[in-house]
C-alpha cells in the first residue's frame, strides 16, 4: 500500500535529500528512510577533509536526520561526536564533529581537526586498510544528542559512549537506554560518479518497535508482536548499500521491495537542505551592539573578520563598513 509519490523527487528522476517516514502495515513497527545527495556533497565540498573524516561526518548527518523526526515546530537537534576530555587520554586527529538539523529540514555540519590531523590521518592510511572511529576520535569517545525545542522549554541532552565500531551502534544504544525502544539502523556512505565528478551520498534506514500504534495492537497477542518486529528487522537488513544510495531508486520503490509482504504505508516526505544560520546581516546586528572599545579590540590589521566554521566562510568588515554599522545602530 503506497500513498504519495511526488515529494522527495527533485527532478522527476532523482530521489535525494529526503526524510521519508513509513509504517509497516498492521504491526507496531515504524521507521524512516533518509537519502542525502546534493546536501551531503555541499557540506563536504565546502571543506577539504580526508575521506575518512568525510565518511564520519556523512554517517553522522544521516543519523542526526533520523533522530530529528519528532522535533516540534521550530525545534532543532544537534549531534556531536567527541573523544575523551581527560588530559592523559590518547586524542584522535579529529577534535569533534557536529551536525545540526532543524525541524524544517535545514542541516549543517563540520569537523574540527587537530593542527596535525592531516599528517596523522595520512600515516594511518599508509598502514591500515580501514580507518576506524577510534582512530579518528581517540579514546573513550562519546556521542551527544541535544534537542532544543522552539519554545523556552528545557533543552534535553543524551550522551552515549562510543563502545562499538560505528556511530549507528551508538544511536541504537541511545534508544535502548534513554527511550527503552528497540531500534535497528542501517547506514551507507559512498561516492557516486556524476558528470565527471565523484559526489558524496549518504543514506540510512531506521525501524523502531513502538509500544502501541492502535489499529491491530489491541487484537494482537504479545508473542505475535515480537514476531512482527523480528520479521521487519530481518527484512530491513536485506537492503543493499547500493539500494540505499542509488539516487534513481525512489524511496517508495525501495520500501515496497523490502516490506511488500507485510505492506507499508508512507507519510509525506520532508525535504532536507543545507542551510546555515549565519549571515552578514546577523553579524552586523551583533557588531552594532558592541561598545566602541570592544570593537577596537576585535580589529586585527584594521579589519574585523568573523568566520563561520559550518560554511568555512569569513566575512570581513573594514573601517567604512564598521562606521556604517555603528551609525545605523545609533539611529
Ligand atoms: Zn554559516
The 10s digit of each residue's pLDDT in 119-133 is 999 999 999 989 999
CA 3 – ligand 1 centroid, Å: 37
CA 175 – ligand 1 centroid, Å: 30
CA distance 304 to 218: 64
Domain ranges in the chain are 18-274, 280-325
The 10s digit of each residue's pLDDT in 208-251 is 998 765 544 454 444 556 788 999 999 999 999 999 999 999 99
Could you give the residue ranges of the DSSP H alpha helices within the chain?
A: 38-45, 51-67, 117-127, 133-137, 167-174, 222-236, 241-245, 251-259, 280-288, 292-298, 319-330
pLDDT of residue 154: 87
CA distance 234 to 304: 56
What's the grid cell of residue 11?
A: 527532478
- Judged by phi (left if over 0) then psi (alpha if -120 to 50, else beta), residue 154 lies in beta
Q: Is the pLDDT of residue 255 over 90?
A: yes
Q: In which band, very low, low, confident or very high, does the pLDDT at 275 lie, cut at 50, 70 and 90?
A: very high
Tell me how many helices (H) and strands (E) the chain has: 11, 14
CA 313 – ligand 1 centroid, Å: 7
Q: Is the pLDDT of residue 85 over 80?
A: no
CA distance 81 to 70: 21
Superfamily of domain 18-274: Hsp33 domain (3.55.30.10)
CA 305 – ligand 1 centroid, Å: 14
The angle formed by the CA atoms of residues 246, 103 and 107, to the nearest 5 degrees, is: 55
Instruction: Please tell me the CATH code under which domain 280-325 is placed.
Output: 3.90.1280.10
CA 39 – ligand 1 centroid, Å: 14
Percentage of the chain exceeding pLDDT 90: 68
CA 19 – ligand 1 centroid, Å: 23
pLDDT of residue 14: 85
Q: Is the pLDDT of residue 105 over 50?
A: yes
Amino acid at each position: 500500500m503506497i500513498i504519495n509519490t511526488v515529494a522527495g523527487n527533485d527532478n522527476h528522476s532523482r530521489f535525494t535529500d529526503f526524510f521519508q517516514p513509513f509504517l509497516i502495515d498492521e504491526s507496531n513497527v515504524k521507521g524512516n528512510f533518509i537519502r542525502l545527495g546534493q546536501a551531503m556533497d555541499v557540506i563536504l565540498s565546502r571543506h577539504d577533509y580526508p575521506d575518512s573524516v568525510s565518511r564520519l561526518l556523512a554517517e553522522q548527518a544521516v543519523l542526526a536526520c533520523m533522530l530529528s523526526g519528532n522535533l516540534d515546530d521550530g525545534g532543532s537537534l544537534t549531534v556531536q561526536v567527541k573523544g575523551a576530555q581527560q588530559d592523559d587520554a590518547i586524542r584522535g586527529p579529529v577534535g569533534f564533529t557536529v551536525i545540526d538539523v532543524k525541524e524544517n529540514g535545514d542541516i549543517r555540519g563540520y569537523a574540527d581537526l587537530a593542527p596535525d590531523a592531516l599528517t596523522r590521518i595520512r600515516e594511518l592510511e599508509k598502514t591500515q586498510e580501514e580507518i576506524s572511529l577510534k582512530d579518528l576520535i581517540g579514546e573513550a569517545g562519546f556521542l551527544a544528542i541535544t534537542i532544543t525545542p522552539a519554545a523556552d522549554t528545557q533543552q534535553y541532552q543524551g550522551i552515549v559512549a562510543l563502545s562499538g565500531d560505528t556511530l549507528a551502534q551508538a544511536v541504537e544504544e541511545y534508544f535502548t537506554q534513554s527511550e527503552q525502544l528497540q531500534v535497528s539502523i542501517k547506514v551507507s556512505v559512498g561516492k557516486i560518479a556524476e558528470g565527471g565528478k565523484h559526489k558524496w551520498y549518504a543514506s540510512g534506514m531506521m525501524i523502531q518497535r513502538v509500544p502501541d500504534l492502535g489499529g491491530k495492537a489491541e487484537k494482537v497477542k504479545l508473542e505475535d508482536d515480537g514476531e512482527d518486529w523480528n520479521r521487519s528487522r530481518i527484512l530491513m537488513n536485506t537492503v543493499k548499500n547500493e539500494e540505499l544510495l542509488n539516487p534513481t531508486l525512489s524511496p517508495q520503490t525501495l520500501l515496497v521491495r523490502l516490506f511488500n509482504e507485510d505492506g507499508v504505508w508512507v507519510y509525506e516526505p520532508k525535504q532536507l537542505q543545507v542551510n546555515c544560520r549565519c549571515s552578514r546581516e546577523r553579524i552586523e546586528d551583533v557588531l552594532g551592539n558592541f561598545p566602541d572599545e570592544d570593537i577596537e579590540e576585535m580589529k586585527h590589521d584594521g579589519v574585523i573578520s568573523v568566520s563561520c566554521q559550518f560554511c568555512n566562510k569569513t566575512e570581513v568588515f573594514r573601517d567604512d563598513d564598521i562606521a556604517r554599522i555603528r551609525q545605523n545602530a545609533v539611529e
